[in-house]
Structures are given as structure tokens and as C-alpha cells.
Structure 1
Amino acid sequence: MILSMTGFGRSEGTFDGKKITIDLKSLNSKSFDLNIKMPLRYKEKEFEIRKILNDRILRGKVDCYINVETLDDTNDVTINHDLVKAYIAELRKISGDGPDFEYLKMAIRMPEAISSRPDELNDNEWVFLIEVLNEALMKFNNFRETEGEILQEELGRNIRKIESYLAQVEPYEDVRMDGVKERYRKSMNEFDQIDETRFYQEMAYYTEKLDIAEEKVRLTQHLKYYQEVAKNEDFNGKKLGFISQEIGREINTLGSKANHAEIQKLVVMMKDDLEKIKEQTLNVL
């Protein structure tokens, strides 16, 4: 079964007055390449989050965005009024008379003048975050499956087109050999004495040299194998890439041996569809 490396998943939930949103996006890549952005409160769990994403996504250029939005009006910042007033009084003693505003600007920079509620991650919030992450991953993988079904249809269509072009080669095979024989016979007729034995030796040589039976058999096998792997094996992108390279080798050899204009046209059309296959295969997980 084919899965696409292109994916998207979003999930959100509310915990303790905070709205947590996770977005996952991916494009094709040869390996697992993760870019993750999260609030500082979750940084201590970054390694665990990376491991979960690596185990579930496997391959691709992945962006993960974790966002936290405070929903209530609770003020987490507290100004220690008594301490600030004491700082101002001490500063006035040292510097003499001056604008209170200037003393205030200095006082609030002093230690413990401003305090905030500790922004630490507790176990309950971590469990909730994992639940949101798992939901985002489920949607992400569902997206990959849907895209994979579309990819499989496109790949199958292009494989079948190559099979069709290959079937159209056969009628031209005998014609092209007859043409070679005729051209060679005309060349021989320019000489006074013709060695019939040598003529048939040359024909045997060209027949063997231009024979494309093996290439046709191998190409047919590679096309069939590509479809089997695409349908029956999971995480098959790299393997399909190797098979498409083998398909390309047989098509190139077929073209170099063709020696016939119509066969060359069919080879060009095969190459065109093969390029589409290679491009689509790059996006297979």
C-alpha cells in the first residue's frame, strides 16, 4: 500500500485555561527532517516529542508547531509594591531629590521587584499534550493515506501506458529487420562478387545485435514487479525508486537497439511516462 510523504494534521484542546494547538505538515525528503517550534514550557519534553514524531512519521521534511493560548484573564505578573517603594526610598537617599518616575524605572529592575507565576509543565498537562499530539498524528496519517490512494492510481495509470507502448513495438520488429537486410543487400550488389555465406553471417550478427526480446521480457517483469510492490508492501518508496531505475535502463537499451522510427517514438513516450513515475515515486513514503 502506498502512503504519501505529503501530510497535514491539526488538533487542539483546552487544559487549565489554556488552548493547546498542534499543527503537523510534511513534504518529501530522503530522511526524517524535523523542524519543531514550541513554547519554552515544553522544551524539557522536546526529546520525547521528537521520538514520537520520528516513530510515527518515519520519513519526510516535517514541520511541527505547538502553540499555547491563554483563555482566561488571570494576570500571572505581580509587582511587589512594598519592595519597589523601599527601592525608591533608598535611591532617593543616595541621589537626593529627583523625579519619582526615574526612580521607579530603576526600582522595577531590581531583584524580586516583579515576579510571575512559575510556568512549569506538570504531569497532567504533559499527558494532555500527548493526547493532542496523537490526535494530530492520526489526522496526519489519514491525510497521507488519502494522498497515497491518489498517487497509486496515477502510478498505475502511467505503468499501464508503458505496457501499452511496449505491446505496440512488436508489429515493427520484423519490418525493421527486413529493412536492414534490404539495405545490406543493396550495398553488397555494388560489388561484382557477393559472398552469400558472408552475407548471412552479417545478417546473423545484426539480428543478434538488434534483438530486443530480452529487453522486452525484463521490462515487462519490472513493470509487473513495480505494481506488486506498490500494492502489497508498506513503506515502499525507496524500493519503488530502485525499480523505476531498472525500468529506465531497459527502456534506454530498447531505444538504442530500436533502429526504427516508430519504435523510437514509442520509446520516447515510454520515457515521458517514466519521468512522471520517478517524480511521483519521490513522494512515496
Structure 2
Amino acid sequence: MIRSMTGFGRGEARDDARQFIVEMKSVNHRYNDIVVRMPKRLSYLEEKVKDLIKDEIKRGRVELYISLEDIGEGNTDISLNSPLAEKYLTCLKGLRDQFQVTDDISVSLLARFPDIIKIETAEEDEDQLWLCLKEASQKALQCLMDMRRDEGKKLAEDIGNRCTYISGIIEIIEKRAPQVVLEYKEKLRERVNELLEDSAQIDETRLSTEVVIYADKSSITEEIVRLNSHIYQLRKTLTEKQAVGRKLDFLIQEMNREVNTIGSKSNDLEIVNHVVELKSELEKIREQVQNIE
């Protein structure tokens, strides 16, 4: 079943130390374009996230927003640099005694000096970090894919209905085409009669030759056969599981080419009106195809 290129998904995962929230949205795009926005400390995991998405999505622009919250207590260590604190204290006492200033030395004052209290972030377990991010990403991706499949199903239904309508118009044109040749023959005969005083002078062989030439030039049999073939291929493609957007786009282009040829060959107003209708329906299908993966 075909898939749309539009969708949204959200996933969450957590362990003892952290919580991930991943939001993912996709829109139509000619190629497979993946943009990841994540904390800098996770940048080394960007390619893994992209590979995860590429396994499922072959076409479209995908944007990921990854947020990380530390919820554990083991990631940060705070320590006191006692030798340095002692030196600061000695200097402060010397300053007090030398200049006879008020003794306001306190813990809060010492804590303001650089490097007295060290805050260090413990090294993270990269494998555990990836497992948590992977779980959140897979949940978001699953929601995204479900939405793309649901919308794709509706697109396929709409395109299928339009194909049925187009087939009906083609059938009408196919039935009308032989009648156009007969009408041309009668009009040609009437025109010749108007020009000749004696209708007995009409050369039936020459008349038949002109009609045959006209019928050959205006024949749309090949175009109709190809159009029906393209419709069959289009319907078949709608049931395929892989990305088919480019293939559908190609089929629509070929169908447009055949319809244009029918229009250029036909001098019949009724057929021309049907050609206009066909082009309108094909344009609607083309717009839908632009959003198919």
C-alpha cells in the first residue's frame, strides 16, 4: 500500500538516569532529506538516528526534535579542593591582619573563589544512552509511519476512483472515434456536391482515398491502447509496498502525453471536450502523486 510523505509522530523513553522525548514530522520532498535537531552532547548519535529513519522512509523531508532531561543522581560529582581553599583562607587572614579590616571571612565567601568547589559530569554510558534514544525514536517513527500509511490509503482510494472515471471517458472517446470518420465522409461528399453541378461526376475512388487518408491521420487507436495500459500500470503500482511516487509521476506524464496527442489529432468538438476533461483529472492525480513517497 502506498504511503503519504506527510505525517507526525512523538515518542518517549526513560531509564534510571535520563528521559528522551522525540518529535518527528515529515513533508513532501523530491529526495530523502533528514534534519536532526538535538543537544550537542548527543551529536555523535546523529548518524545512527538517521540510519534508523532511512530504513523506513525512502522519500520526503523528515525533521526530528530530540530533547534530553537528566533525571538521575549519578551523572554529576561535586568535590572540594581543600588545599586550594586553605591557601585562599591563609591569604584572606593575611589581608585582614595587614590592613586591620573587619573580619568577615565566611564559607560563602570562600565558595565564590574559582576552583574551590568542582562540579564534574560523570562519563555517560554511550550504549545505554543510545538504547534509550533508540526506543524513543522508534516510537515516534512508528506513529509517523502509521499516519503516512493512513493518508496513503486515502490517496490511493481517490486516485483509483479518478482512474475509473478516466477509463469511462476513454471508452466514450473510443466509441466516438469511428463515427467521426463517417461524419467526415458525409461532410466531404456534401462539400463536393456543392462544388459540382452533377453529383454523378463524383469519383468514389478518390473520395474513399481522401477518407482513408483522413482516418489514418486522425487515428487515435494507439494512444487509447497506451492510455489503457498506463491506467492498468497505475492501478497495479498503487498496491506495491515500496516507494512508488516517482513511478506514479512518470506514468502521469506519459498519460498526459497520450491525451495531448489525442487532442492534436482530433478535429471533433466532442472528443476535444473529453480531452479537456481528461487533462483536468490527470492534473488532480498529479497533485496527489506529489505527496506520495
* TM bracket, shorter-chain basis: 0.7 to 0.9
Task: Give per-residue Cα distances to partners, 1:205-246, cap 9 Å, x unaligned.
Answer: 101111122221211111111101211453222111111111
Larger Rg: 2
In structure 1, C-alpha distance between the alignment counterparts of 2:113 and 2:30, rounded to whole Å: 50
Asked if the contact 1:15–1:125 (Cα under 8 Å) also holds between the matched residues in 2, the reply is no
TM-score computed with the length of structure 2 as normaliser: 0.80
Where do 5+ consecutive residues of structure 1 fail to align? none
Pick from 190, 195, 220: which aligns with 1:190? 195
1:56-77 CA-to-partner distances (Å, cap 9, x unmatched) read 2121111011111345799959
Q: Which runs of 5+ in 2 are unaligned?
A: none
Give the equivalent residue in structure 1 for 2:160. 156
Q: Which residue in 1 is equivalent to 2:246?
A: 238
- Partner of 2:63, secondary structure, is strand
2:130 aligned with 1:126: yes
Identity, in percent, stands at 34
Which of 207, 211, 222 pairs up with 1:203? 211
RMSD of the alignment, in Å?
A: 3.4
2-structure distance, mates of 1:88, 1:175: 110
Residues 33 and 62 in structure 1, CA contact (< 8 A), matched pair in contact too: yes
Following the alignment from structure 1 to structure 2, what is the Cα–Cα distance between the partners of residues 77 and 256?
Answer: 80
Q: Following the alignment from structure 2 to structure 1, what is the Cα–Cα distance between the partners of residues 188 and 115?
A: 100
1:229 aligned partner: 237
Q: Report the CA distance between 1:165 and its aligned residue.
A: 1.3
The reply on whether 1:278 has 2:286 as its aligned counterpart is: yes
Check the 8 A contact 2:75/2:123 in 1, yes or no: no
2:273 is aligned with 1:265 = yes
1:220 maps to: 228
1:256 aligns with 2:264: yes
How many residues of Structure 1 are paired with residues of Structure 2 in the alignment?
A: 278
Call closer, same or farther: CA 1:61–1:232 in 2, change over 3 Å.
Answer: closer
Partners of 1:198 and 1:16 in 2: CA distance? 95
Quote the residue 1:14 is aligned against: 14
Q: Give the whole-Å Cα distance in 2 for the aligned partners of 1:56 and 1:224.
A: 27
Deviating more after overlay: 189-198 vs 1-10 = 189-198
Is 2:13–2:135's contact at 8 Å kept on the other side of the alignment? no
Shifted more, 190-199 versus 246-255: the winner is 190-199
Q: Which residue of 1 aligns with 2:32?
A: 32
- The alignment partner of 1:57 has SS state of coil
Equivalent positions of 1:90-101 (< 5 A) are none
Distance in 1 (CA, whole Å) between partners of 2:138 and 2:65 is: 14
Q: Distance in 1 between matches of 2:212 and 2:276?
A: 28
In structure 1, what residue type is equivalent to 2:176?
Answer: Y
